[in-house]
A = this chain, B = another copy of it.
Amino acid sequence: MMKQITSDTEYRDELKARGVLPEGFRTGFSKLFFIPEELDTNTEMPMNMSLILLDKPTDCFAGVFTRNKFPGAPVLLCRSRLESESFRGIIINNKIANVCISSGLEDAEAVLSSAASLIGCDESELMVASTGVIGWRLPVTEMAGAIASLVDGAVSDEECNAAGLAERIMTTDSFPKLRSRKVCGGTITAVAKGAGMIEPNMATMLCFIMTDLDLPRETLRGMLPSAVSSSFNRITVDSDQSTSDMVIAVSSKLKECSDHKAFEVALQEICLELAEDVVRNGEGTGHVMKVRVSGAESEEQAAEIGKALANSPLVKTAIAGNDPNVGRFVSSVGDYCGNNRIDLKPGRTEIRLAGEIVFAGGSFVLDSDKEKRLSAYLEDCGMDPVHKGYPEHEKSVEIDINMGIGKFHATILGSDLTHEYVRENADYRT
């Protein structure tokens, strides 16, 4: 799907090439230091604040938020701000997610009101996205104090383009995530952060999509949910959805969009590419799995079967060990279908790995040569699970399951289960 990238330099050039901001957008950045109330210590912690600012307010903006039933204050606030007439900008901070805190909403509003006066807009035109530790309070005073430089930066800072933004919203990410398309004479550029979840939700998934193409507000709001559900809702690293995930799309409306269909396709492609970037950057991910389930009775069923396989610890560990263990594919699919009363027809199920048939007609289709070949394939798709920077490659393990009971399909992106994953998630405090 993407061009093969072989070196950090190449990847950086690629990002610069992608990193054009659509007209009418600016981004600002400021780093502040604070002492968390919750820690009885004098050591300061650094917090990144980023700002996405429009030159003029727009009425064309949309948002999709986590379905987690313990949403953070920023999610609650942004959801309600979708009702506003117009949108001017969003402030993004890391370090503290502002979740499960009684004063969460006040704190977020306090930050935004001081931003509103500096920007010279109504508070209702601003949003906030926070990611980091759950259960801590935002350092409201320090954040308010830092907003001036944030706004100035957005006006002056030349080199802080989309690539800079993608870099600066990173938390546990090991590389910036940026995708862009030229379409209908305009631009869609999107940045994302997310790398699986370590520490209490330190790596929430955030995505900001910017375009200068003019669409009716309701058209954009119709397109975004399906773009998200076929991309970010089809990835599974920890099988958990964080309390703060959000995707925001905004248009500066400076260019007419002649072809809504083309726009929607580009939007979906960008979301899918960013979703894959997030999986590839998953904590301790050594392999990206692309599980395509076809011949299902519904798209939802196809997605659920794919997730069952991609979330099976037995499948994940086998892939981590470069072991083409088809018995585990079969078992996880059979288990899910049995528990969900899906009328699976063993004789009709066909499973492929790397395009090669490994299960058909109710039996395995394997021989020792094929197993060697597939094991080598898995090894070739592997990455160093200790992500030190840009990904070595963008290969995925291709698993195809044809259920043979319907005509719907879905693709799930998942990760394997490595020692590094356990290390990151079990040992980080010890």
Q: Which residues of A approach B to under 8 Å, CB–CB?
A: 40, 66-71, 100-102, 133-135, 197, 200-201, 238-243, 311-314, 317-318, 320-323, 325, 327-328, 330-335, 337-339, 342, 344, 346, 359, 362-364, 366, 368, 417-419, 421-423, 425-430
Contacts and interface: CB of A to CB of B under 8 A. Distances in A.
A340 to B, nearest CB: 9
Contacts of A68: 331, 334-335, 338
Contact of A321 (B40, B200, B426): B426
A320 B67 contact: no
A241 B328 CA distance: 11
Given A238-B313, A339-B241, A426-B417, A328 B200 contact: yes
Contacts of A419: 419, 422-423, 426
Q: How many copies does the complex hold?
A: 2
Given A69-B338, A135-B366, A320-B426, A331 B243 contact: yes
A325 B70 contact: no
Contact of A100 (B311, B330, B430): B330
Given A102-B362, A313-B425, A328-B200, A430 B338 contact: no
Given A334-B70, A363-B101, A418 B422 contact: yes
Nearest to A39: B368
B240 A322 contact: no
A317 B423 CA distance: 9
A69 B346 contact: yes
Contacts of A312: 238-240
B314 A238 contact: yes
Contact of A426 (B133, B339, B366, B418): B418
A312 to B, nearest CB: 6
Given A338-B241, A422-B320, A427-B321, A417 B313 contact: yes
A201 B327 CA distance: 8
20 contacts: A66-B338, A67-B335, A67-B339, A68-B331, A68-B334, A69-B344, A70-B333, A100-B330, A100-B362, A134-B327, A135-B364, A240-B332, A243-B330, A311-B311, A317-B421, A321-B429, A322-B430, A418-B422, A419-B419, A419-B423
Nearest to A97: B327
Given A70-B330, A100-B327, A417-B422, 20 more contacts: A67-B338, A68-B331, A69-B334, A100-B359, A102-B362, A197-B331, A200-B331, A238-B314, A239-B313, A240-B313, A240-B331, A243-B331, A313-B313, A313-B425, A317-B421, A317-B422, A317-B426, A321-B428, A321-B430, A421-B422
